A and B are shown apart, each in its own frame.
Chain A
Amino acid sequence: MAAPESGDGNNGAARMVTLISSDNTRFEVEAAAASLSQTLQLTILDGGGGGGDGIPLPNVDSATLSKVLEYCIKHAPAAANGGAPNATAVDRAELERFDNEFVNIDQSVLYSLIMAAHNLEIEGLQSLVAKKVADMIKGKSPMEIRRTLGFPDPTPEEQAEMNAHMLEYGWAYE
Chain B
Amino acid sequence: MEDAQRIETSRLSIHGRTDDEHNPAAVSTGLVSTLAGHPSPATATRGFMSSSTTTPAKRAGVENSDYTVDNKRAQTQRRLTFPSLPQDIVSRITAALPFKEAVRISAVCSKLRRAWTYHPNLDLGVSATDGSVVPTIVRVRGRNAKRNQSSDRYKRMVHARRFVDMVNVILMKLQHRGFTLNRGCSKVLVALHESLMLKTASFQSRVEENLGCL
Of residues 9 through 35 on chain B, the ones whose CB sits less than 8 Å from some CB of chain A are none
With A61-B77, A108-B81, A158-B109 given, is the CB distance from A54 to B60 under 8 Å?
A: yes
Q: How far is the CA of A49 from the CA of B51 in the complex (A)?
A: 14
Contact in complex: A22, B107 (CB < 8 Å): no
Interface size on A, residues (CB 8 A): 58
Contact in complex: A58, B67 (CB < 8 Å): yes
B74 at the interface (CB under 8 A from A): yes
Q: How far is the CA of A146 from the CA of B94 in the complex (A)?
A: 14
A97 at the interface (CB under 8 A from B): no
Q: Chain B: which residue is nearest A61 at the CB level?
A: B74
A32 at the interface (CB under 8 A from B): no
Contact in complex: A61, B60 (CB < 8 Å): no
With A20-B60, A149-B82 given, is the CB distance from A166 to B71 under 8 Å?
A: no
Contact in complex: A59, B70 (CB < 8 Å): yes
* A135 vs chain B, min Cβ distance (A): 8
B78 at the interface (CB under 8 A from A): yes
* A141 vs chain B, min Cβ distance (A): 8
Q: How far is the CA of A150 from the CA of B94 in the complex (A)?
A: 17
A172 at the interface (CB under 8 A from B): yes
Residues of A within 8 A of B95 (CB): 130
Residues of B within 8 A of A40 (CB): 49
* A114 vs chain B, min Cβ distance (A): 6
B146 at the interface (CB under 8 A from A): no
Q: How far is the CA of A23 from the CA of B68 in the complex (A)?
A: 10
Residues of B within 8 A of A90 (CB): none
Q: How far is the CA of A97 from the CA of B81 in the complex (A)?
A: 26
Q: Is the contact region of chain B dominated by helix, strand, or loop, or is it mixed?
A: helix
* B20 vs chain A, min Cβ distance (A): 14
User: Which stretch from B96-104, B186-194, B202-210 is at the chain A interface?
Assistant: B96-104
Q: How far is the CA of A150 from the CA of B83 in the complex (A)?
A: 8
Residues of A within 8 A of B199 (CB): none
Residues of A within 8 A of B75 (CB): 22-23, 61
Q: How far is the CA of A40 from the CA of B49 in the complex (A)?
A: 9
Which of A48, A126, A130, A158 has the most chain B CB atoms closer than 10 A to its own CB? A130
User: Which stretch from A1-9, A80-88, A115-123 is at the chain B interface?
Assistant: A115-123
Contact in complex: A56, B58 (CB < 8 Å): yes
Contact in complex: A23, B71 (CB < 8 Å): yes
A53 at the interface (CB under 8 A from B): yes
* B165 vs chain A, min Cβ distance (A): 7
B73 at the interface (CB under 8 A from A): yes
Contact in complex: B85, A114 (CB < 8 Å): yes
List the interface of chain A (C-beta within 8 A of B).
Answer: 20, 22-24, 39-40, 42-43, 48-49, 53-61, 63-64, 107-108, 111-112, 114-115, 118-121, 123, 126-127, 130-131, 133-134, 137-139, 142, 145-146, 149-151, 158, 161-162, 165-166, 168-169, 171-174
Residue pairs across A and B with Cβ atoms less than 8 A apart, 9 shown, are A40-B49, A114-B93, A115-B89, A119-B49, A131-B96, A134-B93, A137-B97, A139-B101, A150-B83
